[in-house]
């Protein structure tokens, strides 16, 4: 049985359209997305396909260049930027099967229903047709040339019903949005105890004793070092303290940017502050926290 390996491609974020802009009037941009390809000798499994046409084309070329047959796709959670590209990639790589958990598929349905109002209004003309082509992942996980890739349900992190994909044979955890690596975190869905559940999800990843952790949103120049578990925790502790103090959205934004100056993409800091501390109703599809 051949040894597995993995590769990561980070695709750039896309510019958001609409009335909401950054404090200086510049456009908000979606976070860079990390797509992980778990590689066997002749086959590969893709984790978290991206969502815009240009991102999907880039990932498709990357898969083709790997020289492996794409056998499966896995989505760690139901946010559209981590699964909308699945159908287009299956069209390009026939025979690949898309898998997710039931909880992820439930949130997929919510985001699909919100496409017109939420996704297409912000990213007009950039997203292909996005039917839910997923099926429930087998109880034993996904087999890649005799190696199990095991979905682990970890609960609410930056959204509901999140999972990670564990590859025990190489000590890898593809962590989706449970962990961020050098990118500002999306906090809009942390109401009603969301910080506590997110911290518990990080603990669940740490309990797997990974040797490498791939974050769903990462700075491509940073390694997949497990220390990002502690870095994600620290970010949550700092931002929760600011929210509990009920600072203004601008004070929140400035404090977080000053505390984490090297993190990419400050957009989520600004709209997170507006949604959690201001009077602006900014919600992700399916988010009923307050």
151-173 as b/e: b if 16+ CB within 10 A? bbebebbbbbbbbbbbbbeeebb
pLDDT in tens, the chain (290 residues): 789 999 999 999 999 998 899 999 999 999 999 999 999 999 999 999 999 999 999 999 999 999 999 999 999 999 999 999 999 999 999 999 999 999 999 999 999 999 999 999 999 999 999 999 999 999 899 999 999 999 999 999 999 999 999 999 999 999 999 999 999 999 999 988 999 999 999 999 999 999 999 999 999 999 999 999 999 999 999 999 999 999 999 999 999 999 999 999 999 999 999 999 987 666 666 664 54
Give residue 290's pLDDT.
Answer: 42
The Cβ-side half-sphere exposure at 125, using a 13 Å CA radius, reads 1
pTM above 0.85, yes or no: yes
What whole-number distance in Å separates Cα of residue 215 and Cα of residue 171? 15
**DSSP-based three-state secondary structure for 239:** helix
How many H-runs (helices) and E-runs (strands) does the chain carry? 8, 13
Give residue 1's pLDDT.
Answer: 74
What whole-number distance in Å separates Cα of residue 25 and Cα of residue 224? 33
């Amino acid at each position: 049985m051949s040894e597995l390996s993995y590769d990561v491609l980070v695709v750039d974020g896309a510019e958001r359209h609409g009335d909401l802009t950054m404090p200086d009037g510049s456009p908000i941009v979606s976070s860079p997305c990390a797509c992980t390809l778990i590689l066997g000798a002749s086959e590969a499994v893709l984790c978290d396909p991206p969502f815009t046409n240009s991102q999907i084309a880039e990932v498709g070329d990357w898969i083709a260049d790997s020289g492996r047959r794409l056998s499966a796709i896995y989505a760690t959670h139901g946010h559209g930027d981590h699964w909308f590209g699945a159908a287009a990639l299956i069209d390009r790589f026939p025979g690949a099967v898309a898998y997710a958990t039931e909880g992820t598929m439930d949130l997929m349905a919510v985001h699909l229903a919100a496409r017109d109002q939420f996704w297409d209004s912000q990213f007009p003309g950039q997203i292909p047709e996005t039917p839910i082509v997923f099926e429930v992942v087998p109880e034993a996980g996904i087999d890649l040339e005799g190696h199990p890739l095991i979905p682990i349900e970890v609960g609410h992190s930056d959204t509901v019903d999140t999972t990670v994909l564990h590859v025990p044979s190489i000590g890898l955890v593809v962590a989706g949005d449970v962990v961020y690596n050098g990118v500002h975190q999306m906090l809009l869905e942390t109401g009603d105890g969301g910080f506590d559940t997110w911290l518990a999800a990080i603990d669940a990843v740490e309990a797997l004793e990974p040797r490498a952790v791939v974050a769903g949103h990462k700075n491509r120049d940073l390694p997949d070092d497990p220390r990002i578990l502690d870095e994600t925790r620290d970010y949550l502790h700092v931002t929760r303290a600011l929210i509990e103090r009920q600072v203004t959205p601008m004070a929140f934004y400035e404090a977080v940017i000053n505390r984490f100056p090297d993190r990419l993409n400050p957009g989520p800091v600004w709209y997170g502050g507006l949604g959690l501390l201001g009077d602006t109703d900014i919600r992700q599809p399916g988010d009923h926290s307050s």
